[in-house]
Amino acid sequence: MAKSRAQYACTNCGAVTSRWQGRCDSCGGWNTLQEEQAADAPKSMRTGKGRILELSALSGDSEPLERILTGIDELDRVTGGGFVPGSALLVGGDPGIGKSTLLIQAAATLARQGKRVVYVSGEEAIDQVRMRADRLALKDADVLLAAETNVEDILATLKSGPPTDLVIIDSIQTIWTDRAESAPGTVTQVRTSAQALIRYAKASGSTVVLVGHVTKDGQIAGPRVVEHMVDAVLYFEGDTGLQFRLLRAVKNRFGPAAEIGVFEMTGKGLAEVANPSDLFIGERDSSSPGTAIFAGMEGTRPLLVEVQALVAETSLGTPRRAVVGWDPSRLAMILAVLDARCGVRFGQFDVYLNVAGGLRLGEPAADLAVAAALISSRAGVATPAETVYFGEVSLSGAVRPVAQTAIRLREADKLGFARAVLPAGGNDEGQVTLSLDKIATLGDLVAAIAAETAGKASS
């Protein structure tokens, strides 16, 4: 018998090393390495012999993908137009964010369409799942439930029945296999169980959804080890203290990534938010200084968001910079550009920046809205009402055009905004009734807001 070797796998990213160390070289996580037994290579790999494969041409005919629409539009949008049969998805997110709620809702709508849906809960007893379904008024839906954690038993059950359209495994971290020696929840267990379930999806044509908890302390094997094995990775995010939740596609082999779906957690489960811009600019107080509306994009969808800044005289030697929902180094850059190119100084001021509603902005196009909010708070005058901002700011102080100008403008138009401040370089505005204020440099923005101050002073 081959001697089994010990190796160490990172519970966060799945990287394997031969010796233990305090910090994972691959992802930089501390104390995430866990001992496991290395599996021996399959026999064919050791002998070096293999089967001869038939190679195919790229131009061959393939059947078009037939997708399963759940009827929950926000979910269907994120999956790229419905679940693809034979594919595996990972739905990740913090505990308590609403993964089980969303999936039982999706399971129930599909079951009502006559699909065969199996929901395997490794965390909750059948009664708990039933209670939730009762609360969500989904009890009439014919979803097949199991409370089980052994992957061999789950697969044997699935294979013994008629073909299943959708299998939900909640959660992958609780599932274990007889074929790996380590304890449930370890990297080897999660990886081996996920592999078996994914193989089942490909072989049977069922869609398999794996739920994974994101843990910050690395105690349970992170779903990251599964990320590269599945066809699509959806992350459910949001502040548990806030009402709404974002479902974001971070990887999708069958559709666009970065697509988002917006939901609101209500007493009756997750409700779709059809017009998310309303949510993120909701209770806007346009008369107070320090806010600007950013006309942003999330995936292929426009989203207007309020950016808030507070610039206050500092009482500390080193002024504070605090950011929620944006990249702090990007804020430092905008402050430096305002200082160096426009003469707006922040050295004696604390700067706080917040993106409304707990949203995280990743687009450089938000630069101009951030700058507008900062200048407005610094000058103590509100940005003009009913105005949206977007554009990337370069280190030279130039305002650079960004993609999808027409879609951003159309959304602002639709929501009743009257004016847009945008980069001068672009020329794909489309048909809008907004008045367009094209600027070439950040200095132009500072001048416009200064003019506003002068107007206020003289009136």
By beta-carbon proximity to Mg ion, the closer residue of 100 and 377 is 100
Closest distance between ligand TYD and the C-beta of residue 85, in Å? Answer: 25
Q: Is 405 in the site for Mg ion (CB under 5 A)?
A: no
| 100 lines the binding site for Mg ion (CB under 5 A) | yes
Binding site for ligand TYD (CB under 6 A): 93, 95-101, 132, 135-136, 265, 267-269
Q: What is the DSSP secondary-structure string of 200-268?
A: HHHHH--EEEEEEE--SS-SS--THHHHTTSSEEEEEE--TTSSEEEEEEEEETTS-TT-EEEEEEETT
Distance in Å, CB of 270 to ligand TYD, minimum: 8
Q: Is 101 in the site for Mg ion (CB under 5 A)?
A: no
Neighbours of 3 (CB within 10 A): 5
Q: Report the phi/psi class of residue 348: left, alpha or beta, with left for phi > 0 and alpha for psi in -120 to 50.
A: alpha
Residue 434: CB partners within 8 Å, gap ≥ 6? Answer: 409, 412, 413, 417, 418, 419, 420
Q: Which is nearer to ligand TYD, 213 or 408 (CB)?
A: 213
Q: At residue 54, what is the residue type?
A: E
DSSP 416: T
φ and ψ at residue 116, rounded to 5 degrees? -90, 115
- Whichever of 92 and 423 has its CB closer to Mg ion, that residue is 92
Least gap, CB of 49 to ligand TYD (angstroms): 46
Using CB under 5 A, which of the segments 38-46, 68-76, 96-104, 302-310 binds Mg ion? 96-104
The number of C-alpha atoms within 13 Å of 377 and in the hemisphere containing its C-beta is: 23
Can residue 441 be called a binding residue for Mg ion (CB under 5 A)?
A: no
Amino acid letter at 411? E
* Residue 185 φ/ψ, nearest 5 degrees: 90, -10
289 binds, among ligand TYD, Mg ion, none (CB under 5 to 8 A by kind): none
Which of 100/177 has CB closer to Mg ion?
100
Which is nearer to Mg ion, 168 or 442 (by Cβ)? Answer: 168
Q: How far is the CB of 120 from ligand TYD (least distance, A)?
A: 14
Shortest Cβ 372–Mg ion spacing (Å): 41
Q: Which does 268 bind (CB under 5 to 8 A by kind): ligand TYD, Mg ion, none?
A: ligand TYD
What's the chain's Rg over C-alpha atoms?
A: 26
Tell the smallest beta-carbon distance from residue 170 to ligand TYD (Å).
7
Q: Strand pairing of 392-393 and 301-313?
A: unpaired
Q: Min. distance of Cβ 235 from ligand TYD in angstroms? A: 11
- Residue 384's binding partner among Mg ion, ligand TYD, none (Cβ under 5 to 8 angstroms by kind) is none
CB 208 within 8 A of CB 198: yes
Which tokens go with 215?
A: 């843990």
Nearer to ligand TYD, 101 or 177 (CB): 101
Residue 121 binds to Mg ion (criterion: CB under 5 A): no
Question: Cis omega before residue 62 (within 30°)?
Answer: no
188 binds, among Mg ion, ligand TYD, none (CB under 5 to 8 A by kind): none
Q: Order the strands of the 33-37 sheet from edge to edge.
A: 16-17, 6-10, 33-37
Considering the complex, state which of residue 91 and residue 293 has its C-beta at the smaller distance from ligand TYD: 91
Q: Are 170 and 211 in contact (CB under 8 A)?
A: yes
- Residues paired with residue 33 on neighbouring β-strands, in sequence order: 10
* Number of amino acids touching Mg ion (CB under 5 A): 1
Cβ atoms 147, 119 nearer than 8 A: no
- Of 92 and 289, nearer to ligand TYD (C-beta) is 92
Q: How far is the CB of 91 from Mg ion (least distance, A)?
A: 10
How are strands ordered across the β-sheet holding 435-439?
Answer: 321-324, 349-355, 301-313, 291-298, 387-389, 419-423, 435-439
Say which entry of Mg ion, ligand TYD, none residue 424 contacts (CB below 5 to 8 A, set by partner kind).
none
195 to 234: interface string for Mg ion, x by CB under 5 A: ----------------------------------------
Give me the least distance between CB of 280 and Mg ion, in Å please.
Answer: 27
Choose from ligand TYD, Mg ion, none: what does 101 bind? Cβ within 5-8 Å by kind: ligand TYD
Min CB(457)–Mg ion separation in Å: 57
Site string for Mg ion, 127-156 (x = CB under 5 A): ------------------------------
Closer of 34 and 121 to ligand TYD (Cβ): 121
Evaluate whether 107 touches 269 at the Cβ level (below 8 Å). no
Pick 138 or 374: Cβ nearer ligand TYD: 138
Q: How far is the CB of 22 from Mg ion (least distance, A)?
A: 32
Strands (E), 15-165: 16-17, 33-37, 88-93, 117-121, 144-147
Which residues in this chain contact Mg ion in the complex, by CB under 5 A? 100
